[in-house]
Chains A and B, each alone.
Chain A
Amino acid sequence: MVEVKQVLKRYGGKTVIDRVSLSVPRCKLTSLIGPNGAGKSTLLSMMSRLIPKDGGEIWIEGKEIARYRTEELAKKISILKQSNHIAARLTVNELVSFGRFPYSRGRLTRQDRDYVREAIRYMELEPLQDRYMDELSGGQRQRAYIAMVLAQDTDYIFLDEPLNNLDMKHAVQMMKVLRKLVDELGKTIVMVMHDINFASCYSDYMVALKDGEVVCEGDVSSIMRDEVLRGIYDLDVRVQTIENQRICVYF
């Protein structure tokens, strides 16, 4: 269980997250949506202790995030940010092996190697596993990072715009994989999404942020409505149902 209580973040004098409370449903795919600058990434970064919060509490499985030892937390939650530039020259296999660091501290056991192999297989990276990261396309690279997160084997996975830089085909592939992680492996995923229609088609639960506050949250059918989305984005939008999916038309 991840619970966010009255969390606050200020940059200089500006409040970017203003007493946000939120509880993340287990074994569900949750999307954080909202306009640019709403504080989605900031909230996600605080939930994964990448940046310190200025107030409030974040409880992860019955313990406040600041009370965890960081290596203990690395076995419970994993986070993947949107830009991942790595200066070191790594192969896919080496990158995915890093996912086992919280368990092995760098000395891989046979069990660790099994996890790595399994994660690579799951993301269909076997033919690429000995290639260097800088030789891969954007989509392949993104899959390799997800494989690393998989090897980390945490119950909670936080993703900051996992579809960034992916074309339609790869974006759909990525979302199907994330769906499978939730449905087959029982993971809890929270991700920041910009494409409202991808969020609508693939997530179970949606949380909308605006100006550092949660404006509404609920399952897809309660968020994907004309009046709700208009309120979030200040844009004249219409939601239509196409093949049982709620699609937002905003052009």
Chain B
Amino acid sequence: MSNRMKVAVLVVLALGLIALFLFTHLRGDFDYVLRSRSEKIVAMVLVGWAGAVSTVLFQTMTNNRILTPSIIGLDSVYMLVQTAVVFLFGSTTLTMMGNTSHFLLSAGSMIGFSVLLYSFLFRREGQNLYFILLVGMILGTFFQSLTSFMQYLIDPNEFSIIQDRMFASINNMKTDLLWPAGLLIAAATLYTYRHLHELDVLSLGKDHAINLGVAYETVVKRLLMIVAVLVSVSTALVGPIMFFGLIVANVAYAFFQTYEHRYLLAGAALFGVIALVGGQLVVERVFTFSTTLSVIVNMVGGVYFLYLLLKERKAW
């Protein structure tokens, strides 16, 4: 089966799942049900797309297939902001906060953090990418500790509000944010699309990429920004999903067996949509909302991650 065919099959599968999600179990007010379901679909497509694309980009840059962008500590920034708001102003401020201002606050702080981190670290020429990741990881851990410290201090009832935000959930997604989020993700995707071939060269590694005339530092800097935007937007929209990108990226590598990013990115994004819509179908229709999507994703993803680790170990 050619790679084009494989993409076509995935498109059909994704559309089929979306139709299943939209049009089965229709009860009550059709207009209302359809509208709320399509909003969910749009959110899942955006989050699936952003999670998959950001992970593939990140793994291509680092030449490492078991890293996820969460290593730069963006979800720790997200949790820190949520906790700090509750800690300083009380949980009512967080729950009553308008969606737009909450989105701006969360996404803004994450993107701001990345801009600061990169501009600080890229000021020196010839900086090692892994050094940046390491700094991100350390800062992430620091933010996590700060977060848990504040969580120990606050009222347990307030903590339960934060806990809600700790896991991604499509059900408490904010619908009026779909437009700005969609625009940001589309812009990031467009940029990526125009640099597909450079991504192919980047997957050969830094030395080969420079040798073949890729402006390595500039490209990596911009890609890191793209990754930061994608992760921030999707996290601000539904909350942090840890293993999701990792699974869909690796499933795409295994399915396509190619280095070409036009297939890898499209494939991973489609797998992302399929996994989220399929997962949400299971959550809503099988578990009847007794669990959330991210619990399922993290469980499946965690198991798959262990499998990847063991497989990599054997390969050496």
| Residues on A facing B (Cβ under 8 Å) | 48-52, 69-75, 78-81, 84-90, 94, 98-99, 101-102, 105-107, 152
Contacts and interface: CB of A to CB of B under 8 A. Distances in A.
A51 B211 contact: no
Contact of A50 (B200, B211, B213): B211
Contacts of B200: 98, 106
B175 interface: no
Contact of B126 (A51, A87, A102): A51
B34 interface: no
A105 B196 CA distance: 10
Contacts of A106: 196-198, 200-201
Contact of B205 (A51, A69, A72, A85): A85
A88 B204 contact: yes
Contacts of A99: 212
Given A72-B213, A73-B213, A86-B208, 12 more contacts: A70-B213, A79-B211, A80-B211, A81-B207, A89-B258, A94-B259, A99-B212, A102-B213, A105-B197, A106-B196, A106-B198, A152-B212
A248 to B, nearest CB: 31
B115 interface: no
Contact of B125 (A50, A52, A86): A52
Contacts of B213: 70-75, 101-102
Nearest to A81: B207
A103 to B, nearest CB: 9
Contacts of A79: 207, 211
B64 interface: yes
B165 interface: no
Given A50-B207, A107-B197, A89 B212 contact: no
B63 interface: yes
Interface residues of B, number: 26
Nearest to B215: A70
A102 B212 contact: yes
B172 to A, nearest CB: 38
Contacts of B178: none
A27 B148 CA distance: 65
Contacts of B64: 87
Specify the main secondary structure of chain A where it touches its partner.
loop
Contacts of A81: 207
Contacts of B125: 52
Interface string B258-272: 110000000000000
B257 interface: yes
B192 interface: no
B104 interface: no
A98 B64 CA distance: 20
Given A74-B212, A78-B211, A90 B201 contact: no
A51 B217 CA distance: 11
29 contacts: A48-B210, A50-B211, A52-B126, A69-B215, A70-B214, A72-B213, A74-B211, A74-B213, A75-B213, A78-B211, A80-B211, A85-B205, A86-B205, A86-B208, A87-B63, A87-B64, A89-B257, A89-B259, A90-B259, A94-B259, A98-B200, A98-B204, A99-B212, A101-B213, A102-B213, A106-B196, A106-B197, A106-B200, A106-B201
Contacts of B258: 89
Interface in B4-54: none
Contact of B204 (A50, A69, A70, A86): A86
Contacts of A72: 213
For the complex of A and B, 6 pairs with smallest distance between CB atoms: A106-B197, A74-B213, A71-B213, A88-B259, A88-B203, A102-B213
Contacts of A94: 259
B174 interface: no
A247 B208 CA distance: 35
Chain A CB within 10 Å, residue with most, of B125, B196, B197, B216: B197
A80 B212 CA distance: 11
B65 interface: yes
